[in-house]
Amino acid sequence: PHAGPVESKNEAAMSELVPEPRQKPVVPMKPMGINANLLGYIGIDTIIEQMRKKTMKTGFDFNIMVVGQSGLGKSTLVNTLFKSQVSRKSSGWNREEKIPKTVEIKAIGHVIEEGGVKMKLTVIDTPGFGDQINNENCWEPIEKYINEQYEKFLKEEVNIARKKRIPDTRVHCCLYFISPTGHSLRPLDLEFMKHLSKVVNIIPVIAKADTMTLEEKIEFKQRVRKELEVNGIEFYPQKEFDEDLEDKTENDKIRQESMPFAVVGSDKEYQVNGKRVLGRKTPWGIIEVENLTHCEFALLRDFVIRTHLQDLKEVTHNIHYETYRAKRLNDNGGLPPMTVETEENHESNL
């Protein structure tokens, strides 16, 4: 009988302590009479110019990897893309030299400048890929290299006294060269792209497309697209990363019509109708590299450099690197394992 008033007192005290949940404030509607026009010049439009000046000072990084069998014109194509000697030709061994038994990774860095814009370009070549009789697991050194660059970036990022601008060696784009057989993709092609499409942006290209007729080229492209779809291989630009309708429409067109780009590369110039053009000389004429009626090199260059270069970098950072980072930190309970050196640095910083 005495419990009643005590309980009622406690309830009263609790009601005083715990306030009632507040309702969400109603967002006032925009008054109809107020105009959005500014009464004078503020200077908001200079933000883009401020950003441009800042990025121009720091410059840009772009790391491109080329993968494919020897003799498919990988180095030539990269040189043609950037109109300079940025990739060494590793084909044509001397008799004394031995063909590499395993896949090597060769990274060559350059600083190229155009119109006041500086770009630190790194070309990563993979000589020895697919050149052996037994090519089992030959993609492993490439996957290891890509993950090592993520690891390097992660270690810099989790340092207590980290750099303001972390050097970016992550692979932003991987051009995968398909042999122009006209039949279908080899098991090696499918295995490589299955494994690597999860860790890097892969752009498939059909090399030396001038070895096929126009009908063969169209048919081969359709067959390659079908095989990639059947095997569930996602190449760049990936469908799930399209942010808005405009991006989706543009990327759908690239995925359905252009991919894989059938290209011809050349770093030799010829005179055609009074103009100097990059091309390949044949007994029946000159194949102009930048002429869309001859090959799709111009489409590839516009795609990689002029429209999607920044997006390639963003997808690498926000998707592939984040996936690696989340897995790495989750496996190690939050931080990469500390070495003796990092422990000493940690103590000295403290």
CA distance 300 to 262: 9
Is 25 within the bounds of a domain? Answer: no
pLDDT at 338: 53
pLDDT at 154: 92
Are residues 183 and 212 in contact, defined by beta-carbon separation less than 8 angstroms?
no
* pTM of the entire predicted model: 0.78
Number of structural domains (the chain) is 1
pLDDT at 211: 86
CA distance 292 to 146: 33
Is 51 within the bounds of a domain? Answer: no
Are residues 68 and 130 in contact, defined by beta-carbon separation less than 8 angstroms?
yes
CA distance 271 to 306: 26
For residue 47, name the pLDDT band (cuts at 50, 70, 90): very high
Is 37 within the bounds of a domain? Answer: no
Residue that wins the pLDDT comparison between 339 and 298: 298
> What is the CATH number for 195?
3.40.50.300
Is 221 within the bounds of a domain? Answer: yes
Least confident of 142-146, 232-236, 254-258: 254-258
Q: What is the mean pLDDT of residues 85-104?
A: 61
Is 125 within the bounds of a domain? Answer: yes
CA distance 21 to 291: 68
Residue that wins the pLDDT comparison between 38 and 46: 46
Backbone phi and psi for residue 4, each to the nearest 5 degrees, phi listed first: -60, -60
Residue 121 lies in domain: 57-260+299-330
